[in-house]
Structure 1
Amino acid sequence: MYRPNFTITNKILNHIADISASREVILNAPLLPKWEVKLRKEAILKMTHHSTSIEGNRLTMEEVNRLLRGEDIAAWEKDKKEVLGYVKVLEYIDNLGEKCADNITEDIILEIHRLNTRGILTDSEAGHYRKVEVAVVNGLGKVTFQPPEASQVPALMHDFVAWLNSKEAKELYPVLMSGIAHYEFVRIHPFVDGNGRTARALATLILYLRGFDTKRFFALDDYYNEERSRYYAALQTVDQETINISQWLEYFMEGVAVSMGRVKQAILDLSVDLHLKEQRGQIYLNDRQMKILKYLQTNPRITISEIQKMFDKKISRDTANRDLKPLLENKLVKRIGKGRAIYYELV
């Protein structure tokens, strides 16, 4: 059976600490269902855009968003099919996560690949292990990685999946297991194309099944797409003789820590103070009202004139007062002073 070769370094431990701290905030933050839906939609958009973009998809985030809303866009058919295929993959693995499937099977991996590449690869290639030799080349056409021979793929995948379902793997920290699976899948390169998207979907599925990303707010791919060259360089740090993946795991864990930190900050921006949890869960605030509360979290007070100027487009005094009204009625903020000296602060 496959056994990963790695060392738990201080960097990995530090990233685990950061990830765990962010996750705690994310899982316990008081959010309206409306805001939870918004964050989930944003995560789907980011995962879809970044995971396809890493491999050269030319659609922008806005074009992906329009495509997901059902709009037709002027773009290459292959790019559109990759994006729509990845959305189907995310729906599929989300359903598996909801069902709390115990094990990851080869059939699940094959289905992820089939959904990823349907209409792009032939029927004999989509959802089927490769029967030809492949090589990973850089932009200059130079071979940077030579995956195992096609004849070895079925046995390698059998051993890999056996490890995924082993007690040893399930005792690992979920993000560590996810990073190991990501690398080993890419190393085997079991398909003629679509290996990267399938690897990242598999890594996300592991987090779902291990109960790590229960709220589905987390996009695994955004950090790796921001510096694509670093992502590929990290994959290539692994010595193919020893297959020691410690450096890769340091990079992978760093990416998760940064991405989780961003989600944590977004949630803190929406959550206001924890002591307002009960009231906050029963009222709807617009974006301007959220910005006012966020400002008051780090500033002692705010005036009407300051509220008018704090947005990209200056708002009227009447609008500022209308925004304040529900905050006052729900005892989120209080009015201090009289006349021109009035200001507002958190309750």
Structure 2
Amino acid sequence: MGIFPAFHAVKIAYAANIPHNHRMKRGEYTYIWQADDWPNWRYDLARLAEPMAAASRAQGVLLGRLADVGMALRNEASLVALTEDVINTSEIEGEHLNVASVRSSIARRLGVDIGGLAPVDRHVEGVVDMELDATGHCRVPVSKERFFGWHAALFPTGYAGLSRINVAAWRDDARGPMQVVSGPIGRQRVHFEAPPAERLEFEMTRFIDWLNADTSEPPLIKAALGHLWFVTLHPFDDGNGRIARAIGDLLLARADGSPQRFYSLSAQIQRERKAYYDILERTQKSSLEVTEWLAWFLAMLQRAVDQAQHTLDKVLAKMRFWQRVAGKPMNERQVKVLNRLLDGLDSKLTSSKWAAIAKCSADTALRDIHELLEHGVLRKSAAGGRSTSYELNDVLER
């Protein structure tokens, strides 16, 4: 099942009865997996020295800040990063998960108290299971069975959308070669064609051996190569992008020396998705000299870590807020809604929004709000509108 989500066009694309080498000419090849020396990756380590050092420095600064805070704050920062990762790895594929359900699922596993859990969603649980297994057990050897477990977790019903797929098994190409395409039916553009299915057992064994081996590549380079290599093999009917990003997270966790995640690679790829698909397509249609891909990946990784600094700022601000209002009496509803406000409410806080979040009546919502106005925790927003809205009373800035 091939998808090129930047175009949001088609989900499945098999080219029946077209031989996999149909575009090849004598002495030429179309995709990197068709090269005679596949998969002997080549890159200019001297050119990559600076972006690799910059990414490592960014990681060091972030981890240094986290070393100075308590376990509770580190867990909160990890919860935010993992929630971002799970939400965005699915959004890249055009699937929108419920944020509250994802956050609750991760909080439950991390043992973080978030003041009430959202209902369990089987699909959400599967994505969370995969991500936490990849990062939390990053030192555990990878195996075919582990990949199959991840795949089964992503597709618990055996369907991707309305299409039945092979779950916990390599694709079989029964409907033709696996292609990544975009565009309307009849005018599709082929961005990539994966290796034929009969090669997958050998190819994946070789890839898994490389993942588990103590190889010569610097750890950040190995993370970038692992992502590229897996997504080039495209071994499953669907879910290849999500599993490739999980492999990247696993290798980055090994590189960090910590199973806790404090930055989200998937969130950064989502922010830069057009550039990501452009560089991926150029790389897969080029040679095994992949310096350009590695340089882009390292720069993107640095931006992901830099973005995590802003996330940590919010976590610390949230901590300071609760320290400041610690002496003020609040009920569970007020705590729940204030936490939503601190986490970044996606719309204005009105009494009706309060009632929806707290699952209470309009009268109870107004009573809760008026108490917080009297305590100086909230104030009326100066922004205009047909209904009164409320905001934090500059508590975070003091």
Relative to the length of structure 1, the TM-score reads 0.69
Structure 2 match to 1:7 = 44
Per the TM alignment, residue 238 of structure 1 is displaced from its structure 2 partner at its CA by 1.2
1:48 to 80, 86, 105: 86
8 Å CA contact 2:253, 2:260 repeated in 1: no
Structure 1 match to 2:294 = 249
8 Å CA contact 2:126, 2:154 repeated in 1: yes
Q: After superposition, what is the alpha-carbon deviation per residue over 1:319-339, rounded to whole angstroms, capped at 9, x for unaligned?
A: 89xx98xxxxxxxxxxxxxxx
Structure 1 match to 2:264 = 219
Q: In the TM superposition, what are the counterparts of 1:93-112 in structure 2 within 5 Å?
A: 93-97=134-138, 100-101=139-140, 103-112=141-150
For residues 85 and 222 of structure 1, do their structure 2 counterparts lie closer, same or farther at Cα, with a shift above 3 Å needed? same
Q: After superposition, what is the alpha-carbon deviation per residue over 1:79-130, rounded to whole angstroms, capped at 9, x for unaligned?
A: x655332111122224423xx32x3222222222222222243897222111
Q: In the TM superposition, what are the counterparts of 1:265-344 in structure 2 within 5 Å?
A: 265-267=310-312, 285-286=320-321, 313=391, 315=393
Tell me the C-alpha RMSD between the 2 structures. Answer: 3.5
Q: After superposition, what is the alpha-carbon deviation per residue over 1:160-216, rounded to whole angstroms, capped at 9, x for unaligned?
A: 122223332xx3222211110101101110011100001101111122234444432
Amino acid at match of 1:20: S
Structure 2 match to 1:203 = 248
Between the aligned partners of 2:238 and 2:96, the Cα distance in structure 1 is: 17
Per the TM alignment, residue 7 of structure 1 is displaced from its structure 2 partner at its CA by 2.4
Secondary structure of 1:3's partner?
coil
Between the aligned partners of 1:67 and 1:211, the Cα distance in structure 2 is: 24
1:125 to 166, 172, 176: 166
Bigger helix fraction: 1
1:26 to 62, 79, 91: 62
Amino acid at match of 2:170: Y
Structure 1: runs of 5+ lacking an equivalent: 74-79, 273-283, 291-307, 325-347
Amino acid at match of 2:300: G
Between the aligned partners of 2:207 and 2:93, the Cα distance in structure 1 is: 24
8 Å CA contact 2:39, 2:288 repeated in 1: no
Between the aligned partners of 1:72 and 1:222, the Cα distance in structure 2 is: 24
Between the aligned partners of 1:244 and 1:61, the Cα distance in structure 2 is: 39
Structure 2 match to 1:233 = 278
Structure 2 match to 1:163 = 210
Q: After superposition, what is the alpha-carbon deviation per residue over 1:121-142, rounded to whole angstroms, capped at 9, x for unaligned?
A: 3897222111113110124432
For residues 315 and 156 of structure 1, do their structure 2 counterparts lie closer, same or farther at Cα, with a shift above 3 Å needed? closer
2:128 to 68, 87, 103: 87
For residues 235 and 142 of structure 1, do their structure 2 counterparts lie closer, same or farther at Cα, with a shift above 3 Å needed? same
For residues 4 and 70 of structure 1, do their structure 2 counterparts lie closer, same or farther at Cα, with a shift above 3 Å needed? farther
Amino acid at match of 2:131: L
Per the TM alignment, residue 54 of structure 1 is displaced from its structure 2 partner at its CA by 0.5
Structure 2 match to 1:16 = 52
Per the TM alignment, residue 226 of structure 1 is displaced from its structure 2 partner at its CA by 1.2
Amino acid at match of 2:127: Y
Amino acid at match of 2:154: N
Secondary structure of 1:145's partner?
strand
Relative to the length of structure 2, the TM-score reads 0.61
Between the aligned partners of 2:53 and 2:39, the Cα distance in structure 1 is: 28
Between the aligned partners of 2:45 and 2:98, the Cα distance in structure 1 is: 37
8 Å CA contact 1:3, 1:163 repeated in 2: no
Per the TM alignment, residue 315 of structure 1 is displaced from its structure 2 partner at its CA by 3.7
The count of corresponding residues between Structure 1 and Structure 2 is 280
Amino acid at match of 2:41: P
For residues 266 and 287 of structure 1, do their structure 2 counterparts lie closer, same or farther at Cα, with a shift above 3 Å needed? farther
Per the TM alignment, residue 66 of structure 1 is displaced from its structure 2 partner at its CA by 6.9
Amino acid at match of 2:287: T
8 Å CA contact 1:185, 1:199 repeated in 2: yes
Between the aligned partners of 2:237 and 2:251, the Cα distance in structure 1 is: 23
Structure 2 match to 1:189 = 234
Structure 2: runs of 5+ lacking an equivalent: 1-37, 107-115, 326-377, 382-389
Secondary structure of 2:191's partner?
strand
1:71 to 118, 138, 149: 118
1:179 to 224, 234, 238: 224
Amino acid at match of 2:153: L
Amino acid at match of 2:71: P
8 Å CA contact 1:19, 1:261 repeated in 2: no
